Amino acid sequence: MLPVTQNDTPVIEIRDLHKAFGSLEVLKGVGLTAPRGHVVSLIGSSGSGKSTLLRCANLLENSQAGEIVFEGESIKWKGTGDARVPADKAQVTRVRTNLSMVFQQFNLWSHLTILQNVMEAPCTVLGRDRAEVDEKARGYLAKVGIGDKCDAFPAQLSGGQQQRAAIARALCMEPRALLFDEPTSALDPELEQEVVKVIKDLATEGRTMIIVTHDMRLAADVSDHVVFLHQGKITEEGPPDRLFGAPETERLQQFLSVTTAA
């Protein structure tokens, strides 16, 4: 179970975030809030900054300016601009272990069984008791529908099963929030639906999630809040019924006319 914390404190807050790769400015003053128990989806065309924003939130990328706040605690920085880096390594470790990320590519260790893959981080990073983690890992694999694949190796699983194993691995860290970076884009439509079902089930449990997705139906079905990014800025945001039902900006209207027709 997740430890109990103050319920009205957002899990993640991002304020006026800027990120550039050389001369390419990818994020131009972006702000985002993920309240506890809410699902926030990030949508937008390729290159709009969605995945970069997610990686900055998890401190996998260093931003040049702006504030990142985890459960009311601001990330400490040293240096400025391109030289800005986190000042407190222990703080970074604490944040990362509480924000489990699920990538587009499953990133499972090929030489470990599925059960071993799910157990590895809680045992080695968090130092938890192996017997306790074994029980939890089996439970999470059952939750995502592959409890019978504990002793299989990744190469023996379909893409959808591998992604579900990656979700179980993220869950086994028992994080404050789950971050999904295009979790279904590497899958064919049939396997994609296996993963979508798992994400929808997690949303109904009230888990805090930020989802970067190209799947507008998934965003509409599971989100409490949808953010549309265009060229590194938030062009429009709000509840899914309004964004998808009555988009206000011409750019979002254009984007949805293409993506929903595909």
Q: Where are the domains of the chain?
A: 12-98+179-259, 111-174
pLDDT given at position 2: 37
pLDDT given at position 172: 97
Confidence of residue 4 (pLDDT cuts 50, 70, 90): very low
CATH homologous superfamily for 12-98+179-259? P-loop containing nucleotide triphosphate hydrolases (3.40.50.300)
Confidence of residue 260 (pLDDT cuts 50, 70, 90): confident
pLDDT given at position 39: 96
Confidence of residue 179 (pLDDT cuts 50, 70, 90): very high
Question: Cα–Cα distance between 21 and 19 in angstroms, integer?
Answer: 7
Q: Is the pLDDT of residue 262 over 80?
A: no
pLDDT tens, residue by residue, 122-153: 999 999 999 999 999 999 999 999 999 999 99
Of 235, 222, 168, the closest CA to residue 40 belongs to 222
pLDDT given at position 185: 87
Question: Cα–Cα distance between 259 and 262 in angstroms, integer?
Answer: 5
Confidence of residue 106 (pLDDT cuts 50, 70, 90): confident
Strands 73-74 and 99-102, sheet pairing: unpaired
pLDDT given at position 14: 98
Residue that has been written with the tokens 């509840």 in this structure: 239
Own/partner pairs, 89-96, CB within 8 angstroms, 24+ separation:
92/59, 95/58, 95/59, 95/70, 96/58, 96/59
Q: Is the pLDDT of residue 246 over 50?
A: yes
Contact between residue 96 and residue 59 where contact means Cβ atoms under 8 Å apart: yes
**How large is the average pLDDT for residues 225-242?**
97
pLDDT tens, residue by residue, 35-52: 999 999 999 999 999 999
Confidence of residue 259 (pLDDT cuts 50, 70, 90): confident
Own/partner pairs, 158-162, CB within 8 angstroms, 24+ separation:
158/191, 159/106, 159/186, 159/187, 159/188, 159/191, 160/187, 160/190, 160/191, 160/192, 160/194, 160/195, 161/194, 162/106, 162/108
